[in-house]
Amino acid sequence: MSTFTRTRRLARAAALVALAGGLAGTARAQSNLGVDTANFDRTVRPQDDFFRFVNGGWLRSYKLPDDRSNFGSFLELADRSDSIIRRIVEDAATSPHRAAGSDAQKVGDFYAAFMDTARIESLGLTPLRPELARIAAVTGKAQLPAAFAHLERIGVQRPFSASVQQDDRNVSVYVVSVGQSGLGLPDRDYYTNPGAKFAEARAAYLTYIQTLMRLAGQPDPAGAARNIMALETRLAAAQWDRARNRDPEATYNRFTLARLNTLTPAFSWTAFATAAGVARTPAVIVRQPSFLSAFDTAVRATPLATWKQYMTFKLLSAYSPHLSSPFVNARFAFVDHTLQGLEQNLPRWKRGVDAVEGSMGMLSGKLYIERSFNPAAKARMQGLVQNLLAAFRAGIDDLEWMSPETRARAKEKLAHFTVKIAYPDKWQDFSALTVRPGDLVGNVMRANQYEFNREVGKLGKPVDRTEWGMTPQTVNAYYEPVMNEIVFPAAILQPPFFDPNADDATNYGAIGGVIGHEISHGFDDEGRQYDAQGNLRDWWTASDAAAFKTRADALVAEYGGFSPLEGMNVNGRLTLGENIGDLSGLTVAYRAYKRAQAGREAPVIGGFTADQRFFLGWAQVWRRAYREANIRQRLLTDPHALSEYRVNGILRNMPEFYAAFNVQPTDKMYVPPAQRVKIW
């Protein structure tokens, strides 16, 4: 899908998990306990390793399927959502009563086109030939802006991303944002890291490029692969690292189109904006100005023939999942096998569901809600969220390090939170999207163009505050700083996150921790820089900002000490926002649970006290197994820590956990009180 649709919320919003990872849960041994004790490892003391005490039995017995790079509580729920969507699209595809242009016709014909492998194999590269000819027809570098704009329109990667988003300093206005992009390897460090596994990834990438170019009948595939790799390596060297990209002040650089042209004399942004239909933007927000300068140097120094090879490969790579089997297999060998460690591709039906979701997720989401959602869950969730917000508000008053002035502004921001639960109040209009039977590549391309046009069409219009950045069937949640909103899609409102039959303590540790996590993102190292209206504005006193930074830096250092792979540690700076979300979120969830109990004594269930059940609820939702290749990629690219540290790394800082499980100085989870981190 076009980056015009993805960038704003997926790059900037703070979500509960990385989208590639998903979410999940297992059946419960005792419904009133709400925790599957069969997954416990009773040989591990909870005071030494709480993550493995709760999940170790499952980790020891579970074997990752050949088609998964990781699996756990989140992905099990994601599989349930996929199964529901599968029934919806298969019913739509076989229904004899579909009206032309209806929701059912669009999702049904799209899915059926993906599943028609005989037609896909017979077509081969034919569906892409017009686009290949378009690239071949480029005769000068002055045509690159228009060529890149067209690639943007059809969902193909370019050296930079462009998106329509709210202006961080004036959130009532839409502007264009431009940032670094263009790499086929997962991160800039893959291009330079001397480790053997990274060298293996680079070699596999060269093979992938060469294979696609050969399959497409391009001249000198090996030479083209070397040229493209050299160009991407040059771009990678100029890119900012992911931790720096989390700084909203550093990445807010406002330009007019005319001034932006002076930053890149060899590349006309006026020409790009005109071709993309965004010349009316009031400004362009540049996330990494130094990268654009380096890109301009690359435009001048790189032969046009190499740029055409680069665009050809990016087109082939973007559409390879929708082409004949040689292209699909080449992509799997690199993207899934080398980078993720998979031995087998996902079943065709599951890839078909993913394709529908990627192109028209909100359309299938509407059908998902009509078929499977229980409205009672939304009402229960609304009450929980309000209780968590009240608990966070009370916690602000208890912050000994915060001045009354900043405390008042923090409460003002909290009071302006927008809460969205389950599904949008207003559904996205897909009437402008045409889906044709048997035209998979054309359907994907038209879906990209539809979304591109929808996003570009926002320029000059009032900001739509009803819009969602996730589909209802997504098992996740997020906080969006420029909207100052927290969003909980319908698919997360089920066990083990939200279980109407489970004990309150377990639910507060699970879904309460999720709610608290998203609330806390409004006050993490990024979110705290946005005010009640969502504008990027410093509302902190200098002393309070310094006090916050001291506490945040301690969490950075703590997580930076965790080493899941030899020679590779967690990036404490990259994961800081999510770690604050976990720590503060679980803290406020515990406070909310105690408020809800109002002094009532909760019974012991299954041998566990209420406080113990609260922490069991949190730990079980993070059950996950990983392949080593997946861990390596996450350590460089994922702003979320691995599941083990989202449990142990958080609980070792919470006095309530120490009291619940009688953690002593001789226990492995013990951290001296003076070294424990507390922020909110």
The tokens describing 134, both together, are 């378009």
Q: Is the pLDDT of residue 23 over 50?
A: no
Residue 354, in any domain of the structure = no
pLDDT band at 26 (very low <50, low <70, confident <90, very high): very low
How much is the pLDDT for 6? 38
Q: Is the pLDDT of residue 547 over 60?
A: yes
How much is the pLDDT for 321? 98
For 593, the domain range is 3-83+374-420+468-675
Residue 344, in any domain of the structure = no
Q: What is the CA radius of gyration of the chain?
A: 25
With residues binned 3-state (H G I as helix, E B as strand, rest as coil), the percentages for the chain, rounded to 5, are 55, 10, 35
> What average pLDDT does the chain have?
95
Alpha-carbon gap, residue 639 to 582, rounded angstroms? 12
How much is the pLDDT for 501? 84
The tokens describing 434, both together, are 């045409």
State the DSSP H helix or E strand holding residue 147, giving kind and residue range, or none if neither.
helix 144-153
| Torsional sign, CA 56, 60, 62, 63 | positive
Q: Where are the alpha helices (DSSP H) in 479-541?
A: 504-521
pLDDT band at 406 (very low <50, low <70, confident <90, very high): very high
Q: What percent of the chain has pLDDT above 90?
A: 93
Average confidence (pLDDT) over 641-647: 98
How much is the pLDDT for 360? 97
pLDDT single digits (tens) 551-571: 999 999 999 999 999 999 999
| Torsional sign, CA 63, 69, 73, 76 | negative
Query: Who wins on pLDDT, 550 or 23?
Result: 550
pLDDT single digits (tens) 81-127: 999 999 999 999 999 888 999 999 999 999 999 999 999 999 999 99
Helix, strand or coil for residue 124?
coil
The tokens describing 635, both together, are 């350590």
Residue 107, in any domain of the structure = no
Helix, strand or coil for residue 205?
helix
Residue 196, in any domain of the structure = no
How much is the pLDDT for 20? 44
Alpha-carbon gap, residue 515 to 486, rounded angstroms? 8
One-letter amino acid identity for 647?
V
418 pairs with which residues across the strands? 485
DSSP state of 179: E
The CATH number of the domain where 532 resides is what? 3.40.390.10
Alpha-carbon gap, residue 479 to 420, rounded angstroms? 10
pLDDT single digits (tens) 299-312: 999 999 999 999 99
Q: Is the pLDDT of residue 4 over 70?
A: no
Alpha-carbon gap, residue 61 to 70, rounded angstroms? 15
pLDDT single digits (tens) 383-401: 999 999 999 999 999 999 9
| Torsional sign, CA 125, 131, 133, 135 | negative
Domain count, the chain: 1
pLDDT single digits (tens) 29-74: 334 899 999 999 999 999 999 999 999 999 999 999 999 999 999 9
How much is the pLDDT for 500? 83
Alpha-carbon gap, residue 273 to 449, rounded angstroms? 16
Q: What percent of the chain has pLDDT above 70?
A: 96
How much is the pLDDT for 12? 61
Q: Is the pLDDT of residue 25 over 50?
A: no
How much is the pLDDT for 155? 98
How much is the pLDDT for 440? 98
Residue 78, in any domain of the structure = yes
How much is the pLDDT for 7? 40
Q: Is the pLDDT of residue 2 over 70?
A: no
Q: Is the pLDDT of residue 13 over 90?
A: no
Query: Who wins on pLDDT, 408 or 18?
Result: 408
Instruction: Supply the pTM of this predicted model.
Output: 0.95
Residue 298, in any domain of the structure = no
Residue 333, in any domain of the structure = no
Contact 611, 594 (CB under 8 A): no
Alpha-carbon gap, residue 310 to 505, rounded angstroms? 55
pLDDT single digits (tens) 442-495: 999 999 999 999 999 999 999 999 999 999 999 999 999 999 999 999 999 999
pLDDT band at 15 (very low <50, low <70, confident <90, very high): confident
pLDDT band at 657 (very low <50, low <70, confident <90, very high): very high
pLDDT single digits (tens) 496-532: 999 888 889 999 999 999 999 999 999 999 999 999 9
420 pairs with which residues across the strands? 487
